[in-house]
Amino acid sequence: MDGVAKKRAAKVRNPLEPLATFNWMVLCVLVLGFGCGIIATMFGSGSVLGWGHDVYVCVSTQGMSANTAGGPFDLYPRPGVSVGTTGLQLCADKPSTGQRWWYTLENLPVTVTVIVVVLITFLALRLAQRRGLYTPGFATRLRLLGWFLVADSVLRPTIEVYASHKLWATMADGAMPTEWNPVWAFLFAGLALLSLARIMRVGSAMREDLEGVV
């Protein structure tokens, strides 16, 4: 009987997999990537968020469209045919300090989002492995991640649009087209995590009540 019980216990899969393994791999890649980037920048052969010796600072209007009557780049459409442009990119090969700053501010939110999501997920999974899923600490981490994603879905595009406009103004006289959209995937994911955190908190309270009765 003991052997059968052990075999059944061995067959029970970890409910946190494959997310736990994937999260650990992503965390290792982030640490290694940032470490290599910083070391390369210190020796003059790399860059980190626009800071380094040989770096191009660019700003683009990708995802925005416009139609022109004439054809740019020696392109001449036939009568009745318009040319649509899906994006325009401006780059500075020798950026100033101000351009580097706005470029950093434009790209920093994405970096912060990835780091925070991976780190909070890692801490939540580690806690779940030690104490179980239905614990107040795990629910708290899920709620923290949920609120972060909800806030990030609105704040990140706002910061990126503001910084890109400032960077564009240092490279061109004309106004940059504006397109602001919340990150809908993060918004829905954050709301789902908030609901899941509430479920975990209720389950944790029920577990404590059962343990008290027993």
* Distant-in-sequence, close-in-space partners of 213: CB < 8 Å, separation ≥ 6: none
pLDDT score for 177: 74
Q: Is the pLDDT of residue 72 over 50?
A: no
Question: How many helical (H) and strand (E) elements, i.e. helices and strands, does the chain have?
Answer: 5, 6
Q: 64 falls in which pLDDT band (50, 70, 90)?
A: very low
Judge contact between 23 and 128, C-beta under 8 A. Answer: no
Q: 65 falls in which pLDDT band (50, 70, 90)?
A: very low
Q: Which helix (H) or strand (E) holds 159?
A: helix 136-169
Q: What is the pLDDT of residues 107-157, one digit of tens each?
A: 999 999 999 999 999 999 999 888 878 888 889 999 999 999 999 999 999
pLDDT score for 71: 44
Helix (H, G, I), strand (E, B) or coil at 95: coil
pLDDT score for 152: 95
pLDDT score for 123: 93
Kindly state the DSSP code that residue 74 receives in the 8-state scheme.
Answer: T
Give domain limits for the chain.
Answer: 16-208
Residues 55-81, mean pLDDT to the nearest whole number: 62
Token pair recorded at residue 83: 């040319």
Q: Is the pLDDT of residue 172 over 60?
A: yes
pLDDT score for 68: 45
Q: Is the pLDDT of residue 194 over 90?
A: yes
pLDDT score for 84: 66
HSE (CB half, 13 Å, CA atoms) of 183?
22
